[in-house]
Amino acid sequence: MTTDSHDDAAPRPVGHEQLAGTLDVPVLSFNLPAEIDHLHKQSAWTESTGPSSTTLVKHADLRVVLVAMRAGTRMPEHRTAARVTLEGLSGRVRVLLARGGVCDLPEGHLLVLDREIVHDVEALEDSAFLLTLAWPNAESAHDPELRP
């Protein structure tokens, strides 16, 4: 059984403001090229004001966010208590680490950052990537086998 993230006939929830109950079902399936195309129609993309993003999955300990960035746009320095992965879907972004490290993320590559790593993201080309954030849950915090 597969539950689609949205019904083509229904209005499509976009962004972080419309999360109520639609992103935490047991099974979700996404057409990523169609999702990217949808992001390319958003004002953040068309006006080149910054990243255009939509949250695909939202659980207490997990988020999956699709991000599209125009060449030359930047996500300013930030950090998170979650571990994160960035999976390059198209184009190329550069992740700049606070300690001076630089990681390029071209299409087809995966980057993993541990918790609290200060970084910013710059699009070197028109790009899209999946951002996954995973927080420790209460069970893993108390189970020595699941702790980092």
Contact in structure between 36 and 68 (CB atoms under 8 Å): yes
pLDDT range class, residue 17, cuts 50, 70, 90: very low
The pLDDT, as a whole number, for residue 147 is: 45
Number of domains in the chain: 1
- 136 in a domain, yes or no? yes
pLDDT of residue 146: 47
**Residues with Cβ < 8 Å from 96, sequence gap 6 or more?**
102, 119, 120, 121, 122
User: First vs last Cα of the chain: how many Å apart?
Assistant: 33
Q: Is the pLDDT of residue 148 over 50?
A: no
pTM of structure: 0.79
Instruction: Using alpha carbons, select from 87, 32, 73, 86 the residue that is nearest to residue 54.
Output: 32
Residue 21: its pLDDT value, please?
A: 52
Q: Is residue 14 part of a domain?
A: no
CATH number for 121: 2.60.120.10
Where residue 67 falls among pLDDT bands split at 50, 70, 90?
A: very high
Which pLDDT belongs to residue 111?
A: 96
Residue 69 covered by a domain: yes
Asked, for residue 126, whether it belongs to a domain, the answer is yes
Q: For residue 100, what pLDDT band results from cuts at 50, 70 and 90?
A: confident
Please give the C-alpha separations between residue 59 and each of 51, 115, 134, 138, in angstroms, as whole numbers: 22, 18, 9, 13
Instruction: Judge whether 3 lies within some domain.
Output: no
Domain range for 46: 32-142
The answer to whether residue 78 sits within a structural domain is: yes
